[in-house]
A and B are shown apart, each in its own frame.
Chain A
Amino acid sequence: MRKLHSFLIVFLALTTYVSAQIRENYDLKVGLVFQKTESLYWENGVGADFTSDFLLNKQIHLKATYLTSRLGSGIGSNAILQDNFLLGADWRFRSNKDLQIMAGLNAGIFVVDYGNPIFDVLPNSSMLLSVETGLVYRFKFPVTAGLTVGYNLKSGNGVDVPGSLFPVFYRLSVFYNL
């Protein structure tokens, strides 16, 4: 019980501190993300990017992304329908400049819909873990564009990871600053 009280006190203190910091100065961007996997599909979707002064003077960005072949190669074709749910964090070099260099980590879940019970014997989901790096440009108007390359540390292996999870991807993101 004492442990729970201590945890609640720490949690409330942290929440209050973070809320206060966020209120002071933060950037929240939302927008579109386009991903091309090397030798596989276009998977497009939406994303959000958050940073604040308390995140080391906006050098750290927190991200949430949803990407799917349903909004990419799956449109009007026989491509496999698959979804990526991602959370990530990246570090920005030259964070006070318009052209920034980013390096980050993403984690999440990959889910595949094979579309027929014949394939129920195959793995249809996997944890995602990827590294990503590239350039981000902050325009004079409230738009930011990023061009990055990433590598899935876990990819399909013919055994226990869906085979349509490939390692190398290229990503273009266009975010609007709210």
Chain B
Amino acid sequence: MKKLIYISITIVSALLFAACNPTPEIDNATMLDGNQIFDASITHPEKYLVSAYLPSPTELQKDTPIIIAAHGYTATTFEWDELRDYADSAKTFYVSQVLLGGHGTSYEDFKQSSWQDWQSSIVEEYQKLSAKGFRNIYLAGSSTGAPLILQMVKSGFFANYTKPKGIFLIDPIVVSSNKTLTMVGLLGPVLGYTTVTLDSGEQGKWYIYRPQETLKELMSLIDLTRIDLQKGITLPVGTYMKVYKSAIDETADPVSAVMIYKGMQTSTGGNIEVEMIDSKIHVFTRLRGRVGVTATDVDKQQKTFKEMESKMKLIAD
């Protein structure tokens, strides 16, 4: 019996020691995780948010389509820069790049944020644009941006605002490709955080360290979304939706697209659109900062932007 008690004490002590939640070493000069580098939308919101850029829109501007673009977990507004560049060139629609709550600032900010905090900046920008009278609002979500938008639909948020004309999801995550995430509740306190490797062009644009608290939030968000999709989610009246999903994706499992297709329906009971993209890139529409981008990758990105633009024009007509 004594032996059993000793073994139990040893195991509990080891677990407590392991659960001390270590913190990473952060290089403030080079890492977004530190206290010197921030997302540019914080200091220059007018360059990223249409609500700040057009505080008093004209009637013509109110009729111009706007895409509120939400980035993924640990990313920044950088993830949608290329769509904004496309829009600046096309001059047929605006892009409002929201910075998710807890993102683009510091490891400590991120660590304390919940998925509802991440979602709050999409909600705020939508409320502002709706209040200013914009009539053609679209949403685009890449990776984790997608379940955040789906949760807005599920919650009935749009009932009190201008209905979105359409939703575009790029490589949405409902199931992680790394299935260890399902065990984050058990392993998280032991690990404290996980680390990712960034290409040189991505430095300062993504958090390198992922606190276990935020991994748990991510798991809560995608698990809730999966369950909601299983029960069924209906789009607001007149809202169009299309999912673009890389067929091979080591971050957001492609089965996420299947779950969204099966779980979403239009207000008239129809299916949403899904296109499986012949790509191995997670968020294939973001090529800037990556190493080894091919002409084919660029073609797929531009084709998708063009299609989004055409769809918005078609809906407007």
What residues of chain A lie closer than 8 Å to B252, measured between beta carbons?
A: 158
Within the complex, which residue of B223, B251, B256 is in contact with A39, where a contact is CB–CB below 8 Å? B223
Interface hits, A69-97 → B, CB 8 Å: 73, 77-80
* Distance (whole angstroms) from the CB of A129 to the closest CB of chain B: 15
Q: Nearest CB to that of B248 among chain A residues?
A: A159
Binds A, one of B53-61, B81-89, B176-184, B191-199: B176-184
Within the complex, which residue of B182, B257, B258, B259 is in contact with A38, where a contact is CB–CB below 8 Å? B182
Within the complex, which residue of B178, B226, B261 is in contact with A116, where a contact is CB–CB below 8 Å? B261
* Distance (whole angstroms) from the CB of A131 to the closest CB of chain B: 15
Instruction: Tell whether, in the assembled complex, residue A79 and residue B230 are in contact, meaning their CB atoms are under 8 Å apart.
Output: yes
Asked if A115 is at the interface (CB within 8 A of a chain B CB), the reply is yes
Q: Nearest CB to that of A120 among chain B residues?
A: B276
Q: Nearest CB to that of B246 among chain A residues?
A: A158
Instruction: Tell whether, in the assembled complex, residue B183 and residue A38 are in contact, meaning their CB atoms are under 8 Å apart.
Output: yes
Instruction: Tell whether, in the assembled complex, residue B258 and residue A119 are in contact, meaning their CB atoms are under 8 Å apart.
Output: yes
Asked if A114 is at the interface (CB within 8 A of a chain B CB), the reply is yes
Q: Give Cα A38–Cα B182 distance, bound, in whole angstroms.
A: 7
Interface hits, B208-224 → A, CB 8 Å: 219, 223
Instruction: Tell whether, in the assembled complex, residue B177 and residue A158 are in contact, meaning their CB atoms are under 8 Å apart.
Output: yes
Asked if B175 is at the interface (CB within 8 A of a chain A CB), the reply is yes
Within the complex, which residue of B254, B261, B262 is in contact with A163, where a contact is CB–CB below 8 Å? B254
Asked if A121 is at the interface (CB within 8 A of a chain B CB), the reply is yes
In this complex, the interface size class of chain B, counting residues with CB under 8 Å from chain A, is: 20 to 34
Instruction: Tell whether, in the assembled complex, residue A156 and residue B175 are in contact, meaning their CB atoms are under 8 Å apart.
Output: yes
Q: Give Cα A162–Cα B257 distance, bound, in whole angstroms.
A: 12
Q: Give Cα A131–Cα B254 distance, bound, in whole angstroms.
A: 26
Per-residue B-contact encoding for A97-117, CB less than 8 Å = 1, 0 else: 000000000000000001110
Most buried by B among A78, A162, A168: A78
Number of A-B contacts (CB under 8 A): 87
Asked if A164 is at the interface (CB within 8 A of a chain B CB), the reply is yes
Per-residue B-contact encoding for A150-178, CB less than 8 Å = 1, 0 else: 00000111110011101110000000000
Most buried by A among B178, B183, B255: B255
Asked if B52 is at the interface (CB within 8 A of a chain A CB), the reply is no
Q: Give Cα A157–Cα B282 distance, bound, in whole angstroms.
A: 13
Asked if B37 is at the interface (CB within 8 A of a chain A CB), the reply is no
Within the complex, which residue of A79, A159, A164 is in contact with B175, where a contact is CB–CB below 8 Å? A164
Interface hits, B153-197 → A, CB 8 Å: 175, 177-180, 182-183
Asked if B46 is at the interface (CB within 8 A of a chain A CB), the reply is no
* Distance (whole angstroms) from the CB of A111 to the closest CB of chain B: 14
What residues of chain B lie closer than 8 Å to A158, measured between beta carbons?
A: 177, 248-254
Instruction: Tell whether, in the assembled complex, residue A155 and residue B248 are in contact, meaning their CB atoms are under 8 Å apart.
Output: no
Instruction: Tell whether, in the assembled complex, residue B254 and residue A118 are in contact, meaning their CB atoms are under 8 Å apart.
Output: no
What residues of chain A lie closer than 8 Å to B177, measured between beta carbons?
A: 156-159, 163
Q: Give Cα A157–Cα B247 distance, bound, in whole angstroms.
A: 12
Asked if A9 is at the interface (CB within 8 A of a chain B CB), the reply is no
* Distance (whole angstroms) from the CB of B147 to the closest CB of chain A: 14
Instruction: Tell whether, in the assembled complex, residue A122 and residue B247 are in contact, meaning their CB atoms are under 8 Å apart.
Output: yes
Residues of B with Cβ closer than 8 Å to A?
175, 177-180, 182-183, 219, 223, 226, 229-232, 247-259, 261-263, 274-276, 278
In the A-B complex, the 6 residue pairs with the closest CB atoms: A163-B255, A158-B177, A163-B253, A78-B262, A39-B182, A78-B263
A158-B251, A163-B255 known; 19 new pairs, CB 8 Å cut-off, are A39-B219, A40-B226, A77-B230, A78-B229, A80-B259, A115-B262, A119-B276, A121-B276, A122-B255, A156-B179, A156-B253, A159-B177, A159-B248, A159-B250, A162-B255, A163-B175, A163-B256, A164-B255, A168-B182
